[in-house]
């Protein structure tokens, strides 16, 4: 095997014209940006072939299932599954079943859609509020979704069982009032009910009764 001639005369001397380490990092970032720009320019137009028109969900599919994704990065929250549904679209048999369902739901029922549910306030089905349930106890997302779905089915079966309707039990809204007070956006004063009370809201039965007025006395003057 021939020996390599590694004399100093054959090795090119460093002239100091190379970029620094920070400069190479900057060039690498610019190459990455150019790579994605080329993808946008040449590959993105091909996605038009996979375009599908938006079809709103039918009344037979009222459930909204929400999940969380971190773009491929592993995170414990990716296992969580949440179900949100308007109560008016559930298969409940009459107003008594709706009232019983709200009682059984407890703090999972709210009169307005949850802010992270993807349901707007202008959508139909808000007359009876919304139900939300989530689960993240199992190691697979499908298992968490199955548990939440089974829990909703058990609630529906019990609400439609009208042996005891609990019509004399009022709906507990303390969780709604506590959330409003915690937000402190102007309506957190207890008993305000969305507007400032005025003198017209004062109970009339609390007003003191006026004292009885004495009958006016008439004095007759006799001529001298």
Helices assigned H by DSSP within 7-57: 21-42
| Average pLDDT over every residue of 39-64 | 89
Q: What is the pLDDT of residue 186?
A: 61
Reply yes or no on whether the pLDDT at 194 is more than 60.
no
Report the pLDDT value the prediction gives residue 198, as an integer from 0 to 100: 76
Lowest mean pLDDT among 47-51, 59-63, 163-167: 59-63
Tens-digit pLDDT profile for residues 204-219: 888 888 888 877 666 6
pLDDT of res. 56: 78
| Cβ atoms within 10 Å, residue 192 | 14
| Residue 5: band (very low, low, confident or very high) from pLDDT cuts 50, 70, 90 | low
Q: Are the C-beta atoms of 78 and 141 separated by less than 8 Å?
A: yes
The pTM of this model reads 0.61
Q: What Å distances lie between residue 215 and 120, 157, 211, 212, 219, CA to CA?
A: 65, 70, 12, 9, 13
Q: 35 phi and psi, to 5 degrees?
A: -60, -45
CB–CB of 65/82 below 8 Å?
yes
Parallel/antiparallel/unpaired status of strands 130-135 and 109-110: antiparallel
Average pLDDT of the chain is: 85
Q: What class is the 64-69+76-186 domain?
A: alpha beta
Q: Rounded mean pLDDT of 173-202?
A: 72
């Amino acid at each position: 095997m021939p020996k390599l001639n590694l004399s100093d005369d054959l090795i090119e001397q460093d002239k100091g014209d190379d970029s620094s380490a920070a400069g190479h990092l900057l060039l690498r970032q610019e190459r990455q940006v150019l790579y994605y720009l080329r993808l946008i320019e040449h590959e993105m137009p091909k996605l038009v072939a996979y375009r599908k028109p938006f079809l709103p969900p039918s009344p037979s599919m009222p459930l909204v299932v929400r999940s969380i994704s971190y773009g491929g990065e592993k995170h414990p929250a990716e296992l969580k599954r949440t179900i949100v549904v308007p109560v008016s679209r559930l298969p409940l048999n009459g107003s008594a079943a709706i009232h019983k369902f709200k009682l059984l739901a407890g703090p999972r029922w709210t009169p307005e859609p949850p802010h992270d549910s993807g349901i707007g306030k202008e959508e139909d089905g808000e007359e009876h509020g919304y139900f939300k349930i989530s689960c993240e106890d199992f190691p697979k997302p499908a298992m968490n979704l199955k548990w939440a779905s089974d829990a909703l089915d058990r609630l529906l079966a019990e609400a439609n069982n009208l042996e005891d309707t609990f019509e004399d039990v009022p709906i507990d809204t303390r969780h709604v009032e506590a959330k409003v007070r915690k937000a402190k956006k102007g309506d957190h004063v207890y008993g305000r009910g969305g507007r400032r009370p005025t003198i017209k809201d004062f109970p009339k039965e609390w007003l003191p009764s006026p004292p009885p007025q004495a009958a006016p006395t008439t004095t007759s003057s006799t001529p001298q």
